[in-house]
Amino acid sequence: DGGITQSPKYLFRKEGQNVTLSCEQNLNHDAMYWYRQDPGQGLRLIYYSQIVNDFQKGDIAEGYSVSREKKESFPLTVTSAQKNPTAFYLCASTLYRGTDQPQHFGDGTRLSIL
Amino acid sequence: GENVEQHPSTLSVQEGDSAVIKCTYSDSASNYFPWYKQELGKRPQLIIDIRSNVGEKKDQRIAVTLNKTAKHFSLHITETQPEDSAVYFCAASMRGNAGKSTFGDGTTLTVKP
């Protein structure tokens, strides 16, 4: 059964701590994306990657980092530099590079500060 | 960059009534307009999309219309059911924009039985 798997579902971060959110897809999609969702707001793009070993900053990249060492995997690290990390994080993918096509989303990770 | 505005932010209808959600976009180069439905605590899922070379698209009770001149597109849900209750997001993207979609802020639709 193909899809996008995000883990963990819930994550708590202590002050000064970096945490990593996992995103794995078995859809053989080329491009992957990370979004942040705050209450009452739309999805805001953090980072995206259209090909292995390459990624670009989105609209709100400060305080976050990513890697794309494998086509299937696109982990997001929330660093201590992100002062307001509490949000719902969604990973997505598209079959091809470019966005004039549907995005497939994971179930999300809810991050909170301890 | 692209800016997408979505209205209304909340919408409450009686079961069986129609619901309409509207989005406006700023960049005339945008050419792909999807609509996603997100149930509480779940992932957004595509329900319908439209490309700029089409004015209207329908799928059973759901339809989307696009007015390129006015730069707006709308989601129409007819014969609403309680299971239609969710948050609906519109988005706009353009070919060659290197992976960037711009989303509206969402509309919370409540269908009262």
For A8-32, what is each residue's pLDDT tens digit?
Answer: 999 998 888 999 999 999 999 999 9
Pairing between β-strand B19-25 and β-strand A10-13 as defined by DSSP bridges: unpaired
High-pLDDT (> 70) share of chain B, %? 96
Asked whether residue A1 carries a pLDDT value surpassing 60, the answer given is no
Helix/strand/coil for B84: helix
For B112, the token pair is: 């009262």
Between chains, do A102 and B49 touch, taking CB under 8 Å as contact?
yes
Between chains, do A48 and B100 touch, taking CB under 8 Å as contact?
yes
Q: Is B93 exposed, middle or buried (0-12, 13-18, 19+ CB in 10 A)?
A: buried
Confidence grade of residue A87 (pLDDT, cut at 50, 70, 90): very high
pLDDT of residue A100: 79
Interface test with B, best of A88, A100, A101, A105 (most B CBs within 10 A): A100
pLDDT of residue A40: 79
Sign of CA pseudo-dihedral B42, A95, B46, B61 = negative
pLDDT of residue A110: 95
